[in-house]
Structure 1
């Protein structure tokens, strides 16, 4: 037996003094209101209203019952408001992951600003270049760069990045400017996590194996070496854009540059995307998108 059945109809009649007005408030038929109230009276074994052709008046039992029902309805409304407030005001735990360098330089400053706005959030962020499984690791959100291959995820594009080949003016003054991909073998190419540099030629992807006297998995270390005139580097814009803007690095082979890569927010299909995650993704899209447009 549903103990809530008929309560909304009873309260509406008690407060409007009319079955017709109650039906209008609840957007149901008068017959349904009458049927629900009659069923409630039968269940309670007590008359709740005196009905005449002119008016409806609560009985003494009806008056007592109304006070309790009104408290119950108010409590239900308060519970619903609490849930709506919880959804509207981001709070609770968010577990996310992002690539190490891009996470340090671009993602986490924005996330920190977001948490500053919503201090009731508890953020757990793992910066890693490993492509962890979001579902098994319990992540709500992942930031990924480049081509996406996991169809089990939902994705939203946040921004884009561009890879640049560049060198310091001091290096170029000594060794000259590379004008073709074939000329790369004549230059000291500083190697990061891979000795394959990626380009596009005549609309097709080209992978070029390069070599040099420095191998290091730190983009910042390679930028420092390039700024000191050691050799050429190929790195994403967030490493080199400021140096390109000020002229301390010069971009090369621009007509062989690959198209921009997407930067994505990923969420598991199986996980309900809560308002706080949606709000964080929108915040990141605004911040990262603005940064990529300014590059």
Structure 2
């Protein structure tokens, strides 16, 4: 019997508490189990068990060897599962959490193709702007935009999240075009409340960095609402390009302060830590990462 099999029998004896119980669990005879443990001890040159007629206990060497065997056997099982998963067809329910606006505009548009590629996956899509706890709420995966707060999660970057300051041509015609961030203090700025430091807009340029504290009469926790309001000539907003790119390209909105750069963040797929991704999670992450790098899904072109 090979070393791994002998280790497995040894671990089984420890877990079951006796040679006879380990034999029943392994489908072997008690004498066969005893012989395998004896040969293992001979090969190691050390006694693993203290044996009496009524009691079986590990020696100090046996306790250390048991811990190492458990780790080795777990690593072997994990490696076998990883190889099996690479060839397994993604299947089962994939519970996914996505921000409302991004999910509606971008994720939903790609789902039909994903489901056609992976017909054995059942998708449970939840659109929410709050940060869910993936583990306690049973999510397999989430899409998050911006800075990640939970460092215990695994993150895969799907795309950059470039943000721009924009307003409607009608608003700019009436109130003038700001040429520096500081001039925003004299404009009606709409505030997206779900963003950290929502009133402090940070810019970089050749002159360095500056932060402007902006304000206005309207705040909202949904970026689509803010976009709808600035389209109605209400004010100026700092919004992601994935939301306003098409409107800017079509002339319905105008990007301003183009010589100043708002620090980028990113769009991530996040999932609980694990040594190997399940096939269904891997399929979704890889699919979305590929799609967001295609020209037709580039936010500057298709926003």
Please give the TM-score of this superposition, normalised by the length of structure 1.
0.65
Q: Deviations over 1:79-135 (max 9, x none)?
A: x9xx96995322111112121211121123223421233222111122222222222
Unaligned runs of 5+ in 2: 6-31, 33-79
> Looking at CA atoms only, which structure, 1 or 2, has the larger radius of gyration?
1
- Alpha-carbon separation, structure 2, partners of 1:199 and 1:85: 45
- Alpha-carbon separation, structure 1, partners of 2:278 and 2:90: 9
Tell me which residue corresponds to 1:282.
Answer: 286
Q: Following superposition of structure 1 onto structure 2, how do residues 104-115 of structure 1 map, counting pairs within 5 Å?
A: 104-115=104-115
Change in 2 beyond 3 A, CA 1:103/1:197: farther
- Alpha-carbon separation, structure 1, partners of 2:85 and 2:281: 15
Q: CA RMSD of the aligned region, Å? A: 2.9
Change in 2 beyond 3 A, CA 1:129/1:114: same
Asked if 1:89 corresponds to 2:89, the answer is yes
- Alpha-carbon separation, structure 1, partners of 2:212 and 2:133: 31
Is the CA contact 2:226–2:237 (under 8 Å) kept in the aligned structure 1? yes
Q: Following superposition of structure 1 onto structure 2, how do residues 181-260 of structure 1 map, counting pairs within 5 Å?
A: 181-193=181-193, 195-202=198-205, 206-260=210-264
- Alpha-carbon separation, structure 2, partners of 1:207 and 1:248: 27
Equivalent residue of 2:252, what SS?
coil
Choose 204-213 or 282-291, whichever is displaced more: 204-213
- Alpha-carbon separation, structure 2, partners of 1:158 and 1:85: 23
Structure 1 residue 235 displacement after superposition: 0.8
- Alpha-carbon separation, structure 1, partners of 2:276 and 2:104: 27
Change in 2 beyond 3 A, CA 1:271/1:115: farther
Equivalent residue of 2:166, what SS?
strand
- Alpha-carbon separation, structure 2, partners of 1:116 and 1:101: 24
- Alpha-carbon separation, structure 1, partners of 2:229 and 2:189: 11
Structure 1 residue 257 displacement after superposition: 2.2
Asked if 1:266 corresponds to 2:270, the answer is yes
- Alpha-carbon separation, structure 1, partners of 2:86 and 2:290: 23
Please give the TM-score of this superposition, normalised by the length of structure 2.
0.64
Change in 2 beyond 3 A, CA 1:289/1:259: farther
Tell me which residue corresponds to 2:127.
Answer: 127
- Alpha-carbon separation, structure 2, partners of 1:273 and 1:261: 25
Is the CA contact 2:245–2:300 (under 8 Å) kept in the aligned structure 1? no
Unaligned runs of 5+ in 1: 6-42, 44-79
Choose 173-182 or 192-201, whichever is displaced more: 192-201
Q: Deviations over 1:59-79 (max 9, x none)?
A: xxxxxxxxxxxxxxxxxxxxx
- Alpha-carbon separation, structure 2, partners of 1:150 and 1:225: 33
Structure 1 residue 159 displacement after superposition: 0.7
